[in-house]
């Protein structure tokens, strides 16, 4: 059994992680840390865990957590774990971090988009970007995982085969992404209240959303040259789900949708969690809700010479807690899909 601690257990990503771990055959939760709710039980905050996870929430004690755990998941906002993580890492305990802090190779990029100096740039060399389908080998031996964000997971995987094979004009990429409200976390902000969200939709942070830089870093690495692209996030009145509609101009206009679909199926042939739709079919978010799958379909617009790729994930599973467990499975030599191989809820 892997001994696990979760820091930030009562946020939505943390709670989803506990939901998954509570039925993972090799997981043993040893500590749940919550600054706000220390002293209460997990099931006091989320009654859905009653009789399933009644563990008492604790305050932060780095030494205890490090000495009791094989791996620590930190599910806090960027910057919030900047003292905890180096301290834990020093003791040789594996870390899977949900924030942006260990996703970047270059601390300058981090500073530019997050507006603050990176707290532990010396650790960036020890950390791996935890997009399992692209970095499986590096993840296996990593000390720290920068677990990717929801928009980025959905967008990078949608474009990777086209970018790596240089099939598109790199200047033409537009990603129009739509997210459910859990993407904002367990928030009291008025913007995420029921009455403001339901029967409403909006774009936000156009041309300046931080995930843009993550997507660009990863696609540039695949392309072998710098890619700059347009990314627009939207808030949609549902709980779970990110859908990214990705547009790019084909370099060779003669490519058919079928050819590209074949390419995608081949590119992802060893990836259990990637499902490529047959020609004429398109994914929907309820096909993946509650699961760790990434569903993709694509079409070629022959009139304009563009390829349009649509990809869907559950933002708090494959976009957060599920991918974190997938990373853990890889790091500990377990079957990659262990504990996260359930089908979507659909309903």
Active site residues: 150
Q: Which helix (H) or strand (E) holds 72?
A: strand 71-74
> What is the rounded CA–CA span in Å between residue 146 and residue 105?
10
Q: Which of 58, 214, 295, 336 binds its own copies (CB under 8 A)?
A: 295
Asked if 7 and 17 count as a contact pair (C-beta separation under 8 A), the reply is: no
Q: Which of 4, 7, 9, 15 binds its own copies (CB under 8 A)?
A: 15
Applying CB under 8 A, does 70 fall inside the site for its own copies? no
With CB under 8 A as the contact rule, which of the stretches 44-52, 65-73, 112-120, 325-333 interacts with its own copies? 44-52
Applying CB under 8 A, does 226 fall inside the site for its own copies? no
| CA 239 remoteness from chain centre | 16
Q: Cα-flanking dihedrals φ and ψ of residue 254, to 5°? A: -85, -5
Applying CB under 8 A, does 165 fall inside the site for its own copies? no
Q: Which is nearer to its own copies, 50 or 140 (CB)?
A: 50
SS3 291: coil
Q: Which of 30, 38, 299, 338 binds its own copies (CB under 8 A)?
A: 299
User: Binding to its own copies (CB under 8 A): which residues in 181-210?
Assistant: 181-182, 186-190, 192-204, 206-207
Applying CB under 8 A, does 50 fall inside the site for its own copies? yes
Shortest distance (Å) from residue 121 CB to its own copies: 24
Applying CB under 8 A, does 281 fall inside the site for its own copies? yes
| CA 187 remoteness from chain centre | 19
Residues 6+ positions from 287 with CB-CB distance below 8 Å? 293, 295, 312, 344, 346
Q: Which is nearer to its own copies, 252 or 303 (CB)?
A: 303
Applying CB under 8 A, does 253 fall inside the site for its own copies? no
Site string for its own copies, 80-99 (x = CB under 8 A): --------------------
DSSP 40: S
Dihedral of the alpha carbons of 137, 143, 150, 30, in degrees to the nearest 10: 120
Q: Which of 100, 150, 160, 229 binds its own copies (CB under 8 A)?
A: 229
Tell me how crowded residue 40 is: count the other CB atoms within 10 A of its CB: 13
Residue 156: closest CA among 318, 283, 285, 281? 318
Applying CB under 8 A, does 343 fall inside the site for its own copies? yes
Q: Which of 2, 10, 11, 19 binds its own copies (CB under 8 A)?
A: 19
């Amino acid at each position: 059994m892997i001994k696990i601690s979760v820091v930030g257990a009562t946020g939505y990503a943390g709670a989803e992680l506990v939901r998954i771990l509570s039925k993972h055959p090799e997981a043993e939760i040893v500590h749940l840390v919550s600054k706000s709710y220390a002293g209460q039980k997990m099931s006091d905050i989320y009654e859905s865990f009653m009789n399933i996870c009644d563990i008492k929430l604790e305050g932060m004690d780095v030494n205890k957590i490090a000495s009791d755990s094989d791996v620590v998941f930190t599910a806090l906002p960027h910057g919030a774990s900047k003292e905890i993580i180096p301290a834990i890492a020093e003791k040789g305990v594996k870390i899977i971090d949900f924030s942006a802090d260990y996703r970047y190779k270059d601390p300058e990029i981090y500073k530019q988009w997050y507006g603050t100096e990176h707290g532990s740039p010396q650790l960036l060399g020890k950390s791996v970007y935890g997009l399992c389908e692209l970095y499986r080998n590096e993840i296996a031996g990593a000390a720290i995982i920068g677990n990717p964000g929801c928009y980025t997971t959905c967008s990078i995987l949608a474009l990777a085969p086209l970018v790596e094979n240089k099939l598109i004009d790199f200047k033409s990429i537009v990603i129009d992404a739509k997210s459910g409200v859990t993407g904002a976390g367990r928030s009291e902000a008025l913007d995420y209240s029921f009455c403001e969200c339901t029967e409403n939709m909006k774009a936000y942070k156009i041309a300046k959303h931080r995930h843009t830089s993550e997507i660009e870093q990863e696609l540039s690495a695949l392309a072998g040259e710098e890619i700059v692209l347009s990314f627009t996030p939207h808030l949609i009145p549902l709980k779970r789900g990110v859908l990214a509609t990705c547009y790019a101009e084909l370099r060779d206009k003669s490519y058919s949708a079928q050819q590209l679909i074949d390419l995608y199926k081949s590119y992802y042939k060893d990836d259990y969690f990637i499902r490529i739709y047959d020609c004429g079919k398109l994914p929907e978010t309820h096909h993946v809700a509650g699961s760790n799958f990434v569903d993709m379909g694509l079409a070629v617009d022959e009139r304009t010479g563009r390829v349009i790729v649509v990809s869907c994930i559950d933002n708090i599973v494959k976009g957060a807690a599920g991918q974190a467990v997938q990373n853990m499975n890889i790091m500990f030599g377990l079957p990659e899909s262990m504990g996260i191989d359930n089908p979507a809820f659909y309903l």
